[in-house]
Chain A
Amino acid sequence: MRKAAVLALALAAPGLVAASGSLQAQSLYHLGRAATSAEIAAWDIDISPDGAGLPPGHGSVAEGKAIYALKCAACHGDHGQGKPMDALAGGLGTVFDAKSVRTVGSFWPYATTLYDYIRRAMPFPEPQSLSDSEVYAVSAYVLNLSGIVPDTAVLDAASLAKIVMPNRDRFVHDAKIDIGQPQPGAVPAVR
């Protein structure tokens, strides 16, 4: 009986240690294999708000306009006005109105998010089919529709990361509990 209990403890122990995260310096189960840097590079497509991850390449508003007309306008409208899918431009200054129009221009806090999202998920029927330079071009055109970059703009990793979106400062990282304290008339909870 005692032997069985000791064995059970020994079997349980690795799981407990792993769950605590306290022994991260060494592998406990030796499952999985090392990922090569080439494998990581092929999958690592996300872009951070500081621009980390933006690839080489560049694209102009004019180039983006041509790609947009071909691959984006059917869903987002000739000039990003939306219908049937999300509007991309317009609505500046309406975010806090009762009938707000939330677009890339009026709402999105980071231009890097635009590049990241177009590259991973657009065009809807054929995601991850645009080249990195084409994504810069479409990003430039969409930003130009809201007047965030000029008609002559050419975006690359350095210039895109520097763009400050109009609504950025309104975003706050805050998970405070703002309601849910006992309501008037509520009886204290049974604990």
Chain B
Amino acid sequence: MEQDVLPVGLERDARHLVTLEPGKAVLTRRNLVSAAASLAASGALGAAPGKAAAETIPSRPEWQQRPGAELMSPPYGAPSARESQVIRRARHGSPPPPTNYAGISLTPHQNLYGIVTPGGLHYERHHSGVPDIDPDQHRLLVHGLVERPLIFTMDDLTRFPSVSRLHFLECSGNTPTWGVPKPGLTVQDTHGLLSCSEWTGVPLATVLAEAGVRPEGKWLLAEGGDAAALTRSIPIEKAFDDALLVYAQNGERLRPEQGYPLRLLLPGFEGNTSIKWLRRLKIGTAPFQTRWETSKYSLVLPDQTIRQFDFVMDAKSVITSPSGGQSLKGTGFHEISGLAWSGRGKITRVEVSTDGGTSWHDAALQEPVLSKCLTRFRFPWQWEGAPARLASRSTDASGYVQPSRAALESIRDGRSYYHNNAIQTWAVAANGSVVNA
């Protein structure tokens, strides 16, 4: 991915050339100097630490010489055009999917900061495209083993007492990197089926209480309103614990690809269970054995059983900077930064190793540290220029410690595919390049 970095710098200067005078591409001495400086900077990557790069920065840059863009251009603000490489992508090296209506796109954690994933960068997993649902025509049906089968409009649902909570969502197919590590993978490839948002909605328990769940109701079937009409069975305890019916994300109504206008959110559970475009909840006595909890999202184990309903995403962490495809620009100080999370509660500890797990050191946890939410960790590091192996290990409030790859693969392997929460290692070479290891 390093090749992504350098051309962007050059492209930036090329853009200056054509925007200098509207309608006319003008190549001035100043721009030539700017482009040359950019090249010099890129050539100076291997320079000794502290050595000043020869560069000429204009004292009065182009963007100070006249007013910038008008207000509301555009009315719904977008990221800087200079950040155009920060986008969701398909998994590097994976064959193209047979259809673009079903598949995944990945969050670019190598480019992100803090714990909140911007709405437009939240990972996607769809099974039959993104529906364009008219919220005025959308209804939620609650039925089955209830005293009062009810139908709710979106207006009904937004009138209930609301809550806002920060939670991660992780597909249980995140990190399908069993076996020999592929050096070309970035953190977007290895951990991109993970995102975190502030979700606003009504507790599912509140809505279920309106319908009145009968004592024999033990499982809940949740059904999507997309063309896949995806269904999952949820234990009723989770419904009455912390499940949410969500209509807003990061302060605005849900994005279409995140379930607009209504989705289920089951904090800490594998992402597939947080049904998007939610249109039906049915209370029953037992799991409904849908396709998505039998032939998919089940774990084929070495003891020749197939484990179902293993919902919780166990404690996990990953270093996002520096990470695969990036390059350390010189020896000296580097902050190691990453994300830790657990479906069982709060992260209580993150340790970082720079020697491949031989020694571990506590990382600082950035507040807020919230339950079933991403936690940002930081570790200061002086790189002397020798090859290094960077890894992180998280512990959650239940005492669960993230396992090593060897430990995980001693009890499970690629056949189980899902729920790989092993420690991730990035190898730093003497030239500063960072690869998946």
Q: Taking beta carbons and an 8 Å cutoff, which residues of A are in contact with B? A: 14-15, 17-21, 23-29, 31-35, 39-40, 43-49, 75, 84-85, 95-96, 98, 100, 102, 104, 107-110, 112-113, 116-117, 120-121, 124, 127-128, 167, 170-175, 177-183, 185-187, 189-191
Contacts and interface: CB of A to CB of B under 8 A. Distances in A.
Given A32-B156, A117-B291, A175 B143 contact: no
Contact of A19 (B127, B128, B206, B402): B206
B229 A121 contact: yes
A108 B152 CA distance: 35
Contacts of B151: 32-35, 39
Interface string B290-319: 110011001010101111111110110000
A100 B415 contact: yes
Interface stretch (B118-126, B280-288, B320-328): B280-288
B431 interface: no
B403 A180 contact: yes
Nearest to A22: B209
B340 to A, nearest CB: 12
Contacts of B307: 172, 174-175
Contacts of A43: 141, 279-280
A60 to B, nearest CB: 24
Contacts, number: 216
B143 A35 contact: yes
Listed residue (B150, B212, B290, B412) with the most chain A CB atoms within 10 angstroms of its CB: B290
Nearest to A185: B360
A31 B210 contact: yes
A95 B300 contact: yes
A110 B148 contact: no
Considering the complex of A and B, which 10 residue pairs feature the smallest CB-CB distances, nearest first?
A: A84-B98, A189-B395, A32-B150, A35-B149, A180-B400, A32-B152, A120-B229, A18-B206, A24-B212, A117-B291
Nearest to B406: A183
B184 interface: no
B231 interface: yes
Interface of B: 98-99, 101, 127-128, 141-143, 147-153, 156-157, 159-161, 203, 205-206, 208-210, 212-213, 221, 223, 227-231, 240, 279-280, 282, 284, 286-291, 294-295, 298, 300, 302, 304-312, 314-315, 348-349, 351, 360, 362, 393, 395, 397, 399-404, 407-408, 411-412, 414-415, 421
Contacts of A21: 205, 208-209, 213, 240
A108 B229 contact: no
28 contacts: A17-B209, A18-B206, A27-B148, A28-B209, A34-B148, A35-B150, A46-B223, A46-B290, A47-B288, A49-B287, A49-B288, A84-B99, A109-B294, A113-B289, A116-B291, A120-B228, A121-B230, A124-B101, A127-B128, A127-B227, A170-B305, A171-B294, A172-B306, A175-B307, A177-B400, A180-B314, A180-B402, A181-B400
Nearest to A167: B306
Contact of A96 (B101, B203, B304): B304
Contacts of B306: 95, 109, 167, 170-172
B137 to A, nearest CB: 14
Contacts of A26: 212
A108 B348 CA distance: 40
B8 to A, nearest CB: 35
A34 B156 CA distance: 13
Contacts of B160: 29, 31
Contact of B150 (A34, A48, A100, A177): A34
